[in-house]
Amino acid sequence: MSDLAALFAKCKSENRAALIGYLPAGFPNQEASIEIIKAMIEGGVDAVEIGFPYSDPVMDGLIIQEAGELARSNGITMAKTLEIVKEVSATGTPTLVMTYWNPIEKYGVEKFGSDFSTNGMQGVITPDLPIEEAVGWLATAKNNSINSIFVVAPSSSDERLKQVVDNCSGFIYAASMMGVTGTQTSVASTASVLVERIRKISNTPVAVGLGVSNGSQAAEVAKYADGVIVGSAFVKAVLQNPDNPTEAVRNIARELALGVRAN
């Protein structure tokens, strides 16, 4: 059993959802991003998504785009992202990478799989990789014991949904709504419907992302999902608290951790 699978099993035994926190690699800079992610973990995040900042982030909202641009201007590279993954995974926290496909292809698919797996990466979320074009990646991931995590949306047809979830391991990323990432005043009702549809065809854990920004929203999603993914709220906290970002994200993580345990 992988660390990621063990995490979901542990959370299920505790009758709660897993809290998954996201931060772009190198944001606001290389050293600070590592310290901020560690603060998220200290606050109660169960698993971490490290995003690779990309020039054409079609799934990212304005807040994460701003963070990605800052990281890119400070010289983030895939090699530096690898260093962050190594540091974070050394904490024993399941560590994932979220990246668009082009950077993996540019780095080298086989090299990416080998290098990142060796340094503790548990899984990869590829939001723009069509399942029809993922055969080579799925083979590489399997050879390197990497969980392949794809994103499904409320608009997915039943046929498409089954095709995608059948190729997911670790967990299935359920987008709560059509659109891009960002904090919302409420979580879209389409999220629970999508999770219900997935449950009918798969036993793989389902984590919901897009729009969760506070404890009450986390508690709401935790009622029906196996995992709650939060990104923009952490990024926003860093942007709004440049003098003490670690304490800001630690406090948000604590609130969210209480939320996933509230049911």
Pairing of strands 47-51, 121-125: unpaired
Q: Which of 60, 87, 115, 220 is catalytic?
A: 60
Active site residue 60: yes
Q: Which of 49, 87, 220, 226 is catalytic?
A: 49
Q: What is the identity of the amino acid at 75? A: G
Question: Strands 121-125, 95-98: parallel, antiparallel or unpaired by DSSP?
Answer: parallel
Catalytic, 132? Answer no
CA distances, 49 to each of 14, 124, 130, 192 (Å): 22, 9, 20, 22
Residues in CB range of 166: below 8 A, 6 or more apart: 202
Length of the chain: 263
Active site residues: 49, 60
